[in-house]
Structure 1
Amino acid sequence: MSDFDLVVIGGGVNGAGIARDAAGRGLKVMLCEKDDLAQHTSSSSSKLIHGGLRYLEHYDFALVRHALGEREVLLKAAPHIIWPLRFILPHHKALRPRWLIRLGLFLYDNLGGRKLLPRSNSVDLKTHVAGRALKPEFTSGFEYSDCWVQDARLVTLNAMDAAERGCEVRVRTECTDIIQGKGEWIVNLQNHLSGEADSVTARAIVNASGPWVEKTLDLDEEHDSRMGVRLVKGSHVVVPKVFDHPYTYIFQNADNRIMFAIPYENDFTLLGTTDVEIQAEPGTEQIEQSEIDYICSNASEYFNTPISPDQVVWTYTGVRPLYDDASDNASKVTRDYKLDLDMRAGVPILSVYGGKITTYRKLAEQAMDMLEEPLGIKSGAWTAPASLPGGDIPDADYDGFLSRCQSRYPWLDEVLLKDYTRNYGTRISALLGQASDMKQLGHHFGGPLYQVEVDYLIANEWARSAADILWRRSKKGLHTPQGTEEVLQQWIETHYDFATSARPRQAVS
């Protein structure tokens, strides 16, 4: 008998989503990730759950419809890390005509079965609060709805839910080989924390390794990739707050691309993104000065106050592994996904090409439906109405939940309370435990980071380094003093030992 029914390779949003769906259908599942959960593509997005308004211009109606339908499913599943945004699209008279934008927004309102989010409308930017930050020539525009998401936390919550349903999650564990056995796969693994190597067997493999999808297939000499990916780098910059209101801007660029300007982490504005096709090994990508200049220049076309590269306080960049549809332009490559189920060896291996955060749950559901017959799965789709960890907030009413937490934890700093409720939802009780005053939160690393959160993330969310905590499980790296990452890393190495286990451990005494 095989060790597992299914081994999922890749701890991004697609891999974690598939592992969750599979575990919930009763399969014995293992998820392995060579680095940290969401360390690559899935933490480098624009942080949006959106239909993709611009995809309508490429006639990608099916993708837009599926993505629009998923917005409200995900909003109900995780109202602590996903919440509605209202977007302002200033009308640029030299670019797309008004009638075309109106048509696009009409389709956007009606394609996806919208129920919770308000419809689009025209706005007078001479009187609307969002007009104050813009140059005076932008006098009118449009307003519509999409959603925000804490992208890396979305991945972690899917992995947590998978683990709570029986999935074995191994981080810092690389798949080094896949070998066809008799009616099963042999999967060789290398633990980068302990240095130990081991092997497991599985009735099926899901290859959700994103930019490395073809490299993973190449591990098995009997297989070859029947599809391909194009690696397109997307970069973002973070600058001090440019405007002081809750609206997000979507700007049209002269090169037919679009740009977002998003309220970020209370004190900042997030600007992006770029589309740069690359040939280099994924994981080595860095933002180029030309990308920073491009983002700042295009944002400055709209804002009253120019944005210069020297204002940038943080940048991030990632590689989108887009399904290769032979488009001649990286910006026009489809953001939809393709699933390839290969049964040529008599044992299934399903590879994921492309995809976007908004459609990850649907992708996972479809992947498991495709494996239903080969694995003899009897239970069907279940994730649509299910909450993610911390998302079981009555009626998905975050404001009501926050109010109850303010009454329950009157001693907790107000900024910290909002941070905890937004990141952990109903799991705030597990995070705080028996703490009844600020002193009981443990060592204070500076800013909003306390030991109680560090311990929780290590014990429950597979955090293994300071970077995991400061830049993926949270964005507290933006709010803590310079040097905090080094201090935190030293503290973790002093108090924890991960070398002998791939699972969370208690602090070393």
Structure 2
Amino acid sequence: MTVEFKSCLAPETFDILVVGGGINGAGIARDLAGRGLKVMLCERDDLAAHTSSASTKLIHGGLRYLEYSEFGLVRKSLQEREALLRSAPHIMGPLRIVLPHAPDMRPAWMLRAGLFLYDHLARRTWLPGSCGVDLRTHRAGAPLKLNYVRGFSYSDGWVDDARLVTLCAVDAADRGATVRTHTACTSAVRSAEGWHVTLLQASGQTQHIIARALVNATGPWAERFLQRAVRNADGRPMHAHMSLRLVRGSHIVVPQLFTHPDAYLLQVDARRVVFAIPYQRAFTLIGTTEVQVAEPSGVEICSDDEVAYLCKAVNRYFRAEVKPEDVVWRYAGVRPLLEDYAGDASAVTRDYRLEVVTGGAPLLTVWGGKITTFRKLSEQAADQLCFAIGAPGAAWTRHAYLPGGDLSAWIQPGERPDIDFANFLRAVQRHYSWLPQPLAERLARAYGSRIDRVLMTESGERAQQLADLGPSVVPDLYAAEIDYLRREEWACSADDILWRRSKVGLHTSEHQRDQLHAWLGQTPLAARRAV
């Protein structure tokens, strides 16, 4: 979305400026806006343009973290797991994960003990617990080599990570927050009034604002932002009291290796594991690697060596051989891990710390974190910020839906979000019987109960037939959806639409992607529709 800055004599004032449009920044902005504060969220690129769209797409406690005695982190993650799955059943869902037993790796008793802890560290209300499986008869055994005869199955969840970020930003905006993408915070100077901030839009326009408190949620750039942009009143840079270990995680996507709905957790060596996950109907997602980097480049690339490593990992287990030339998509992101000086990147904690610096206008910096704990992190950050500026506001997100997640207008919700979504999808297919089934399912998954806002004609009427959605700019992507994404979800480029707001890019050719790019350049953007 292109946003024009207003020209005014006095800087606009906000309670909180959140810098960084990844999952933590968007989550914090959402939580604060829901407490009635005047919030701005700014992101120099697109929402979820970096780390938050480059995850393994899992909502999970982190089974392997138990080996590093991270019991508190695993428990916190497991406590969040079902709450998140309930909040957005359209972009998240339960996932059974199969762990084949490799006798030359961890012994079976160790795996069983770890899964027992995993089942009992936090209360489960509807996700089933772990169990042993006979891979000679279980559906997950068919794609595996014959020497894998025994395994274990346990519960976690999957998530559309980039859409999760976007929906947090949409919720923040719906609750009154100002969201600006392609807008960098180039300077933040502390004063008696608050933070005097300079924002720079991609077009070159600048704006000055004042914020009572500042949030540094820039992920891998947290230290750099403090050093280069944030200043005390005397001009000295803010000192970082913590540091990050930056680790690149890469993933590959290949044509599907199996047709059943379970994922796999594959032991690679004594420390590392690789996931193989059903993805976008026709593919398998494989990841991740752990490569330490000095600093984030902004355009991370999955290297050929990492591709070879991931292929080798899955080829140890699967009958069908995966070759580098089979890869249809590769992506990478830098994880900002809280530095604990562990020797191996695999052993570095995935927990987070919130650092609040007062003695003037408050500054909160987010160090570390993972997608599964974003809601709890955001709640704790909002609690600390409200206390620091003396603002009222109670926590509210624990039982709240994300946009599109409340399906009660369509169905009578039950006890299981996955069943609720299946019932919702059937209702959508009945209501929009003219939609092709694959398109109906994709739109229901992406937008949930907000699907009506997408299926609109240019005049704002509800679409009655496929032709009402305008031209199919690329296969499975119609003008009405593109218009919605640009108007309501800050999508500006073909990449925003094809790879972050959706994964239609996986199903299109380079020529078709170029067609969308050209179409975006030729079609003016309407104003954001009032909510």
The 5-angstrom pairing of residues 11-90 of structure 1 reads 11-90=21-100
Other-structure match for 1:174:
184
Q: Which residue of 2 aligns with 1:469?
A: 497
Asked if 1 retains the 8 angstrom alpha-carbon contact of 2:184 and 2:201, the reply is: yes
Per the alignment, residue 110 of structure 2 pairs with: 100
Give the corresponding residue for 1:484: 512
Aligned to 1:294: 309
Paired residues, number:
500
- Does 1:228 pair with 2:228? no
Q: Which amino acid aligns with 1:399?
A: A
CA distance in 2, matches of 1:245, 1:183: 59
Aligned to 2:142, the other structure's residue is in SS state helix
Which residue matches 1:374?
388
| Residue identity in the other structure for 1:290 | D
- Partner residue of 1:195 out of 192, 204, 207: 204
Partner of 1:410: 433
Structure 1 residues 69 and 281, CA, compared in 2 at 3 Å: closer, same or farther?
closer
**Is contact 1:41-1:320 (8 Å) kept?**
yes
The corresponding residue for 1:459 is: 487
Partner of 1:389: 403
* SS of structure 2 residue aligned to 1:66: helix
Structure 1 CA distance for aligned equivalents of residues 490 and 528 of structure 2: 6
Q: State the TM-score, normalized to the length of structure 2.
A: 0.92
1:141 maps to which of 145, 151, 172: 151
Match of 1:363 among 377, 380, 399: 377
Q: Could you tell me which residue of structure 2 aligns to residue 210 of structure 1?
A: 219
Which residue identity is paired with 1:148?
W
Supply the distance in 1 between the matched residues of 2:90 and 2:300 (Cα, whole angstroms). 31
Whole-angstrom distance in 1 between the partners of 2:73 and 2:370: 10
TM-score (norm 1): 0.96
* Cα separation, 1, equivalents of 2:332 and 2:237: 34
Structure-to-structure mapping, 1:410-449, within 5 angstroms: 410-433=433-456, 434-449=462-477
Q: Determine the C-alpha separation between the residues in 1 that align with 2:170 and 2:52.
A: 16
Output one character per residue of 1:94-152: Cα deviation in whole Å (capped at 9) or x when no partner. 00011110011001111121112001000000001110000000001000000000000
Q: Which residue of 2 aligns with 1:306?
A: 321
Asked if 2 retains the 8 angstrom alpha-carbon contact of 1:49 and 1:71, the reply is: yes
Deviations 1:376-411 (A, max 9, x none): 122210001100000002324101111111110111
1:198 partner amino acid: Q
1:246 aligned residue (261, 268, 273): 261
Letter in 2 for 1:412: L
Deviates more, 1:367-376 or 1:286-295: 367-376
Gaps of at least 5 residues in structure 1 are: none
Which residue in 1 is equivalent to 2:363?
Answer: 349
- Hey, what's the Cα distance between the residues in 1 that align with 2:12 and 2:493? 33
Instruction: Tell me the C-alpha RMSD between the 2 structures.
Output: 1.4
Say which SS state the counterpart of residue 3 (structure 1) adopts. Answer: strand
Q: How far did residue 445 of structure 1 move?
A: 2.1
Runs (5+) with no aligned partner, structure 2: 1-10, 457-461
Q: Shift of residue 183 of structure 1?
A: 2.9
**8 Å CA contact 2:474, 2:516 repeated in 1:** no
The one-letter code matched in structure 2 to 1:490 is A
- Answer whether contact 1:496 1:505 (CA < 8 A) is retained: no
Aligned-pair CA distance for 1:2: 6.5
Q: Find the counterpart in structure 2 of residue 331 from structure 1.
A: 346
Report the more deviating stretch, 372-381 or 315-324.
372-381
Q: Distance in 2 between matches of 1:180 and 1:355?
A: 26
Distance 1:491 1:312 in 2: 28
| Corresponding residue for residue 184 of structure 1 | 194
1:261 aligned residue: 276
Residue 449 of structure 1 contacts residue 480 of structure 1 at CA under 8 Å; is this kept in 2?
no
SS in 1 for 2:99: strand
Which 4+ stretches in 1 moved above 3 angstroms? 503-506
| 3-state SS of 2:510 partner | coil
Q: Partner letter of residue 24 of structure 1?
A: G
CA contact (8 A) 2:63 2:118 kept: yes
Return the alpha-carbon distance in structure 1 between the equivalents of residues 500 and 296 of structure 2.
Answer: 22
Percent of residue pairs identical: 51
CA distance in 2 between partners of 1:31 and 1:181 (Å): 20
The answer to whether the 8 Å contact 1:233/1:275 transfers is yes
Q: Is the 8 A contact 2:40 2:178 kept in 1?
A: yes
Deviation at 1:72, TM superposition (A): 0.6
Contact kept in structure 2, 1:45 and 1:151, CA below 8 Å: yes
8 Å CA contact 1:343, 1:349 repeated in 2? yes
**How much has 1:497 moved relative to structure 2?**
5.5
In structure 2, give the amino acid aligned to 1:294.
Y
Matched-pair contact (CA < 8 Å) for 1:448–1:480: no
